[in-house]
Structure 1
Amino acid sequence: MNRMRLFSPAALAFTLLWTANSQCYSAETDLAAIKAEITKRHDEAVKRLQDWIGQVSIAAEDRGYPETAEYMAKLARDAGFQQATVINTDGKPGVFATLDAGAPKTVGLYFMYDVKQFDPSEWSSPPTEARIVDKPPLGKVMIGRGAVNQKGPEAAFLEALHAIRGAGKKMPVNLVLVAEGEEEIGSPHIPQLVRRPEVLAALKKCVGVFMPFAAQDLDGIVTVNLGSKGVIELELVSSGEKWGRGPAKDIHSSLKAMVDSPAWHLVKALNTLVSDDGNVIMIDNYPKPLPLSAEEKAMIEKVSKTRSEALAKKQFSVQHWINDLPWEQANERLESQPTVNIEGLVGGYTGPGGKTILPHRAVAKIDMRLAPDMKAADALAALKAHLAKRGFGDIEVNMTGGYDPTATSKDSALIQAQLATYKK
């Protein structure tokens, strides 16, 4: 299987056609014309994506705003959306766009136009230049921050719209696009965006919301996602000043014999959150996830038999799953279990060599993944109460973003349209 085919603009165009009309009486004819248009516009499409990757927007670094929101709005207008508006929030701006084709059905689109931070020294090619290079065994690939997550898939969707219009075909559905610029920091202000009266009214007309996504492995196998875990992103901060027992400034490490350490205080607090191996959440009164249904277990079993465990381990650079679980059970755990993960630890001196200090402050950057039936607010409240009960009430809990989990029925119209596209 050609691993690029299913996530090409042609595949996305067919998804739109199928969503609009399950009979699909003219889809084959329309798709042939659209494919021809895609071929004609190939170089233009590649250049458009390269230019977009060059427009760097990193929320955590406050880099690229608000100009990248304006750029996102322009991309939408160029693709055929009649209106695309930048909407300010208390954080980074979002974009709201609509395409009215006079169709009986309306589909929502979720885009993110921000990307993760990057260290250029870790890249084989400059991450903002989107160079096309040979990458065995894939052939020619584009390397750039956002090429996969998420500008590449989103650009493919927009190119499908360019091709449909260029082929002289009418859009079979209306579209409502909401794009945010803070997904990589936990979407702290997307509620402000989607609850704007004009945005909410448009979304209520949608049969569902689709997120273009690249989800093929090296064998070309596609996994269809039926939802997303929720997440809380936060910082735990231990400081001598707030604690009242450590130094209020960095002092010489020889004084550890008589002065408490905020860094060790944080380590001890972190140790209470999980089991000894770090794999089971031990937070008091933490919300419980829904157990997997028989149908969900059957789907996971099927996916586990279809996807290659060896390729997955190679992709993630791991040799073992948690507790040496077999492949199917590891996938069950992935789909059903909440997690507490340490993203990073910062405290004291981290440069070359040593520096004999007792740091006055230490920070743990944490993300907490939430499985279905869990609420972010409940998990956060449980964490704060747990720390206070265990004697760590002085540790600051600063939530920077987060949202609840979502789930979609496999029988929904959008999922069935997606499956029909892959099977075609």
Structure 2
Amino acid sequence: MKRILAGTALALALIATGPAMAKPGDPGREKVVAAIKSDHDASIERLRKWIALPTIANMGINHREGAEYMRQLALDAGFQQAKVIATDGVPGVFATLDAGAKDTLAIYFMYDVKHYDPAEWSSPPLEGKIVDRPGEGKALIGRGAVNQKGPETAFLTALRAFRTAGVKLPVNLVFVAEGEEEIASPHFAQVVNQPEVRAALEKAVGIIIPSASQSVDGQVTLLLGAKGAVELQLISSGEKWGRGPNKDIHSSLMANVDSPAWHLIKALNTLVADDGHTPAIDGWFENVKPLTARQKELIAADVAAGNEADEMKVLVIKHWYKDEDYLTASYRLAEQPTVNIQGLVSGYMGPGGKTVLPGRAEAKIDLRLVPDMTKDEAVSKLKSHLAKRGFGDIEVNVSGGYGPNQTDENSPLIKAEQATLADAKIPATLSARSAGSWPGVVFTGPPLHLPAGQFGGGRGGGAHAPDEWLLIDSSNPKVLGFDGQAILYADFLYEVARTAKAKR
């Protein structure tokens, strides 16, 4: 009975906010939609199997296996050729689908996920258990459910439906995937810069990363960019410093021996102002491009359509920085580059105490960058800042990173996204950029200069956290379930072809 009710709710959702009826020039759409719906159970099982094979870049888990699995998923979805691209790190995947169309769309996937602690989850993180989500429907719980294997599976489901239905794709596709997004994509440029890959991407009208981006109210924010990210470790050691111990020693010696841990803390304290928040690295804001009047207008419209209380609830917070109002905090989120401490590691970390003076201390740092900052600039300024203050001995180990990306709201890609959502009667706003990051700059920057965006319907949450989830069957008529997500992608492909044709 519950399954019947869930199916009824999903049907209502598709009527109320689901992808629209076929337009002239959308041949075979009804067959594609039927194929998506009939493939529901098999699609969810494919998602479960993918979740069961996590690629975790920073732990060396399933590098080759994950790449090969991604390659096979692309072939199974209809790509005519797919190959694993070796890099100096985790491999990438490149695939193409020639539909004989006049226009080409590029697709970016990540097949890696964040690590996890099973003890923190309500069900095994690799199981893909379906659970009730009160007020929303049924959700699948698993690492990678929303970030990004769930939305990516929905996109592949749409492609499979075209093939199953015997309907020709309206656009050609170029596909690139990486297994290091979660460690700031240190080698992804090696994939994109392969001559064969670059030549294929040059034909594209733009590139998207699939996402499940509806709010609890059903609204979608289309992002015109994203901050850049740099991941690094700052390491203070007696060995490099030339002071303090080279290994952990008895804590009583703190009276007459220097401490590498305190040395690191003193260095960290110079990176932000007295508020513990605002970056204070010398020259940090030198190349920061302020938000334009139009970008502020877009953010204000997005905030007006949003739900501050729901966002705070999801984040488990009660205040924005300095108790700023929602709009001011949203401007800051888009405009301000950041210096964040992800973690601090030093000495004894077990239960109780051990009375040691550590010989080494490490801070795990991420930097978020906005236009017109660059990765190289940020790292250079950080190193110079530390050296100037007597902390030149502290090692700066950069493990990955890239600059910010930005796309014109009037690009055909963004127009196609807007038109697809409008036809589906899904309310949508534009916003200047995401505070989160993805390596879109390798596409939007030279030499490709492609429009890039995140696109999709449906809903999920818990990325990087325990109990990550994706909505499968939606009881909320404003929000798409899994089938609705896949149908939306099919409609988007039709719309890309239509928009590109009008542009020619």
| TM superposition shift of 1:134 | 1.1
Structure 1 pair 242–100 and aligned structure 2 pair: CA distance change class (3 A):
same
Q: Retained in 1: the 8 A contact 2:287–2:371?
A: no
Q: State the partner residue of 1:409.
A: 408
Q: Secondary structure at the match of 1:237?
A: strand
Separation of aligned partners in 2, 1:120 and 1:278 = 32
Separation of aligned partners in 2, 1:293 and 1:32 = 43
Separation of aligned partners in 2, 1:277 and 1:308 = 28
Separation of aligned partners in 1, 2:28 and 2:261 = 63
Q: Retained in 1: the 8 A contact 2:128–2:141?
A: yes
The AA in structure 2 aligned to 1:422 is L
Structure 1 pair 128–399 and aligned structure 2 pair: CA distance change class (3 A):
same
Q: Of 251, 254, 269, which aligns to 2:252?
A: 254
Q: Retained in 2: the 8 A contact 1:246–1:262?
A: yes
Once the two structures are superposed, residues 367-418 of structure 1 have per-residue CA deviations (whole angstroms, 9 ceiling, x without a partner) of 0000111111001000000000010000000000000100011111111111
Separation of aligned partners in 1, 2:316 and 2:407 = 30
Separation of aligned partners in 2, 1:329 and 1:3 = 39
Separation of aligned partners in 2, 1:193 and 1:384 = 29
The AA in structure 1 aligned to 2:331 is E
Q: Secondary structure at the match of 1:207?
A: strand
1:54 aligns with 2:52: yes
Q: State the partner residue of 1:374.
A: 373
Separation of aligned partners in 2, 1:225 and 1:349 = 43
Separation of aligned partners in 2, 1:4 and 1:147 = 24
1:362 aligns with 2:361: yes
Q: State the partner residue of 1:21.
A: none
Which TM-score applies when normalising by structure 1? 0.94
The AA in structure 2 aligned to 1:69 is A
Separation of aligned partners in 2, 1:414 and 1:75 = 25
| TM superposition shift of 1:26 | 2.8
Which TM-score applies when normalising by structure 2? 0.79
Q: Retained in 2: the 8 A contact 1:3–1:216?
A: no
The AA in structure 1 aligned to 2:28 is D
Alignment of 1:105-254 (within 5 A): 105-254=103-252
| TM superposition shift of 1:288 | 2.9
| TM superposition shift of 1:144 | 0.3
Alignment of 1:61-140 (within 5 A): 61-140=59-138
Once the two structures are superposed, residues 247-297 of structure 1 have per-residue CA deviations (whole angstroms, 9 ceiling, x without a partner) of 011000000000011000000000000112222111012243111111101
The AA in structure 2 aligned to 1:146 is G
Separation of aligned partners in 2, 1:226 and 1:48 = 31
Separation of aligned partners in 1, 2:150 and 2:407 = 24
Separation of aligned partners in 2, 1:3 and 1:326 = 39
Q: Retained in 1: the 8 A contact 2:79–2:95?
A: yes
Q: Retained in 2: the 8 A contact 1:337–1:371?
A: yes
| TM superposition shift of 1:4 | 11
The AA in structure 1 aligned to 2:375 is A
Separation of aligned partners in 1, 2:154 and 2:37 = 13
Separation of aligned partners in 1, 2:10 and 2:293 = 33
Separation of aligned partners in 1, 2:161 and 2:273 = 53
Separation of aligned partners in 2, 1:166 and 1:407 = 36
Q: Secondary structure at the match of 1:399?
A: strand
Q: State the partner residue of 1:280.
A: 278
The AA in structure 2 aligned to 1:411 is N
| TM superposition shift of 1:361 | 0.2
Alignment of 1:244-323 (within 5 A): 244-286=242-284, 287-323=286-322
Once the two structures are superposed, residues 177-212 of structure 1 have per-residue CA deviations (whole angstroms, 9 ceiling, x without a partner) of 000000000100011110011001111111111111
Structure 1 pair 202–353 and aligned structure 2 pair: CA distance change class (3 A):
same
| TM superposition shift of 1:30 | 3.2
Q: Secondary structure at the match of 2:361?
A: strand
| TM superposition shift of 1:133 | 1.1
Separation of aligned partners in 2, 1:278 and 1:185 = 25
| TM superposition shift of 1:82 | 0.3
Q: Retained in 1: the 8 A contact 2:254–2:357?
A: yes
Separation of aligned partners in 2, 1:201 and 1:409 = 23
The AA in structure 2 aligned to 1:59 is A
Q: State the partner residue of 1:31.
A: 29
Separation of aligned partners in 2, 1:335 and 1:99 = 36
Q: Retained in 2: the 8 A contact 1:3–1:218?
A: no
Q: Retained in 2: the 8 A contact 1:95–1:178?
A: yes
Structure 2: 5+ residue runs without aligned partners?
1-8, 424-504
| TM superposition shift of 1:311 | 0.3
The AA in structure 1 aligned to 2:330 is N
Q: Retained in 2: the 8 A contact 1:374–1:404?
A: yes
Q: State the partner residue of 2:441.
A: none
Q: Retained in 2: the 8 A contact 1:238–1:262?
A: yes
The AA in structure 2 aligned to 1:37 is A
Q: Secondary structure at the match of 1:267?
A: helix
1:393 aligns with 2:403: no
The AA in structure 2 aligned to 1:116 is K
Separation of aligned partners in 2, 1:369 and 1:139 = 35
Structure 1 pair 87–399 and aligned structure 2 pair: CA distance change class (3 A):
same
Higher relative contact order (CA 8 A, sep 6+): 2
Q: Retained in 2: the 8 A contact 1:240–1:361?
A: yes
RMSD: 1.8
Structure 1 pair 3–210 and aligned structure 2 pair: CA distance change class (3 A):
farther
| TM superposition shift of 1:214 | 1.5
Separation of aligned partners in 1, 2:152 and 2:415 = 20
Separation of aligned partners in 1, 2:213 and 2:39 = 24
Q: Secondary structure at the match of 2:363?
A: strand
Q: Pick which of 335-344 and 161-170 moved more.
A: 161-170
Q: State the partner residue of 2:494.
A: none
Structure 1 pair 5–284 and aligned structure 2 pair: CA distance change class (3 A):
farther
Q: State the partner residue of 2:497.
A: none
% same residue = 58
Once the two structures are superposed, residues 45-89 of structure 1 have per-residue CA deviations (whole angstroms, 9 ceiling, x without a partner) of 111111111111100111012011000000000000000000110
Q: Retained in 2: the 8 A contact 1:3–1:219?
A: no
Separation of aligned partners in 1, 2:276 and 2:12 = 37
